[in-house]
Amino acid sequence: MSNPQWVDRRNARRTVPLQVLCLGISRTGTTSMTRALETLGYVKTNHGMDTFYNPYERQMWIEAMNAKFFGKGKLYVREDWDRLLGHCQAVTDAPHYLFARELIEAYPDAKVVLTIRDPDSWWRSASATIGVPIPLLRRVGALIDPNETTYETFVNLTWAALFGTENWRGDAELCKARFTAHYDYVRSLVPAERLLDFNVKEGWGPLCSFLGKEIPDEPFPRLFDTAAYGALMKE
């Protein structure tokens, strides 16, 4: 039986405008931002964890990363992004931020949000979550299950692209330098009026003001802490 979350988007088209690019690095509140943006009406907001549930999307992202970072295959252009993300009004988390320039250029009317965090605080969270190797059970499963194979490939390519090496785990200075460089790079691509540096601890106010939305009558989401990440990796 096929999984209803396994949607093949290779022949899809854009059905809604892409309005918000949240290009902050993982572990800066991107899951909370996903919920916040959907609460504000940006449905669907695509988060990196969506690829966790859809091997077809994973395969397309693997192609895009291989082309951009490893010189294998055709670079993705607007038509490809419209297929992969055509159902989305907003995007957050990896691997979207790895394609900051491509998405900013492809969608010049989209507003850009950078979820920010102190580099030392970010590294403490990242090293306890994305810095933990893929569980043995998943690695063994990848030997027999093609869906697990694309999952492991997707994860390894994502972090190798972000940090510039496959041997990044435990290298705090390298990772924090790449973290800081990413933010500087995105800021260099976007006019100030189109960009918001946003710490999720600030709550609804700055985000709603930037997006021109009314402040919801509910607390700003606080989701996917270190413990929740660990539990998901054990599934």
227 burial class (0-12, 13-18, 19+ CB within 10 angstroms)? Answer: exposed
Domain locations in the chain as residue ranges: 20-233
- Per the DSSP assignment, residues forming a β-bridge with 196 are 113
In this predicted model, which residue has the larger pLDDT, 43 or 139?
A: 43
d(CA 122, CA 21): 20
d(CA 149, CA 143): 7
- For 194-214, the pLDDT digits (tens) are 999 999 999 999 999 999 999
- For 141-199, the pLDDT digits (tens) are 444 455 656 788 898 999 999 999 999 998 999 999 999 999 999 999 999 999 999 99
- Assigned fold of 20-233: Rossmann fold (3.40.50)
Residue 57 near residue 51, CB atoms below 8 Å: yes
Read off the tokens for 134. 């893929």
Residue 136 pLDDT: 44
Spatial neighbors of 169 by CB under 8 A, at least 6 apart, are 127, 131, 133
